[in-house]
Chain A
Amino acid sequence: MERAKSPRSWFLAVLVALVLPLGAALAQTEAPESPEPTVAISDFMGNWQGMGVLETEDSLFFAMNRRDLDVTIDGDDRRFTVEWTTVRRSGDDPDAPEIRRESASLTFSPADHPHVYEASSSESPLDGGTMSWARLHGQTLSVYQMAITEDGGYAVSTYDRTLLDGGDMALRFVRLQDGQPVREVNGQLSRVSP
């Protein structure tokens, strides 16, 4: 494999070299291909509110592990904004918790491939920034944020927002650091306004 190839073809060639030759054996273990989206960005529009739980062994017993969730998705297929707020309780006293409110907003436009979107504020991790993008697959809108950590490793945060058959939205947030999950929150939200 010579360096004269473009970086895109180099990466794909490496990926193919690493992943594809294993054939049937790998086909059984590789993460399944992403299904084509059965929903559109417009189906996610509106303000959603609900609750999430930080996944730990004793999640159900501690109010500190609960999060109030709020997300607003606005725009259309060509440009949309996802704005979310998480309210969490911390501190040593469950009766008088410290309330922490964290908000973020990302605006996405279509990238080169169908159902893939790039955030306007996305920055190169090689320059110390956070790269943000999104994709539609199945009934899920996934938002990803990736950065290089201070120790030179990496962290990827994934927000999977899945439209449920009953009309609610399921949220699964996972933060991976150097391949290992360091935080996971699962929740459910209802649309409170279109």
Chain B
Amino acid sequence: MTRRLILAVFLVGWLPFTALADEPIEAFYGVYVGSAEVFDGDGNVVEERDLEIEIGAGERGAIHIRWSNVTLVDGRRDVPGVEWRLQHLSMVPRRGDGLFIEDTRGSLFSGRRDIEVMGGDALRWGRIQDNSLDIFAMGVLDDGGYVLQSYARRLTDIGLEIEFRAYRNGNLIRSILGQTVRVDG
């Protein structure tokens, strides 16, 4: 009985640690489709979107994320006014600390380009925390203020949960919440 109790205590105590183990990047690889709502800084829904996300291995050890949005008009995507946007980003692991930074190598033979944030470049990096692949972007605006964006893609049983937040000078100006399902790519 005592041994069972010790084992139970051990297991209960151990569970949070096993649950907190970071997922490997390969766990996120796949193609996902879904939908999201866009909120303004006051929490009002201002848009609905269809989403497609593709995460996979890029060239030379990079991870590649490609995502597209279809902004719906009255819930439809077959009427005038619908917008489509495609974005993509390559990131490479930073040595030693599990961070990913934007891959700024132009080609196989060119070196990494320095990021000049004060010159208008965006700073982009990422991490895996528990079951979430988090991508951050930061930029300094022409007036010296700043914008910071975080884009969390969390693994669920069926796909990815999406949470995007954009802050300008510390004020939340936009958030996006959505759900996707993994599909055969």
Contact = CB atoms under 8 A, between A and B. Distances in A.
Nearest to B68: A1
Contact of A3 (B88, B94, B142): B88
Contacts of A12: 120
B166 A134 contact: no
A179 B173 contact: no
A148 B120 CA distance: 19
B83 A116 contact: no
Contacts of B146: 144, 146, 156
**Overall SS of chain A's interface:** mixed
A51 B118 CA distance: 33
A191 B169 CA distance: 28
A158 B171 CA distance: 12
A113 B144 contact: yes
Interface residues of A, number: 54
The prevalent SS among residues of B at the interface is strand
A153 B119 CA distance: 23
Interface string A11-24: 11011011101100
B142 A31 contact: no
A7 B122 contact: yes
B46 A15 contact: no
Given A126-B101, A179-B148, A112 B174 contact: no
Contact of B125 (A1, A22, A148, A181): A148
Contact of B173 (A19, A112, A135, A137): A19
A38 interface: no
Interface in A128-167: 131, 133-137, 142, 144, 146, 148, 151-154, 156, 158
Contacts of A15: 139, 147
Contacts of A152: 97-99, 125-127, 129, 134
Interface string B123-148: 10111010000101111101111111
Nearest to B71: A21
A33 B142 CA distance: 11
Given A31-B173, A146-B138, A151-B127, A25 B143 contact: no
Contacts of A176: 167, 170
11 contacts: A7-B121, A18-B166, A22-B38, A22-B46, A29-B41, A29-B173, A30-B41, A34-B145, A117-B144, A124-B117, A176-B167
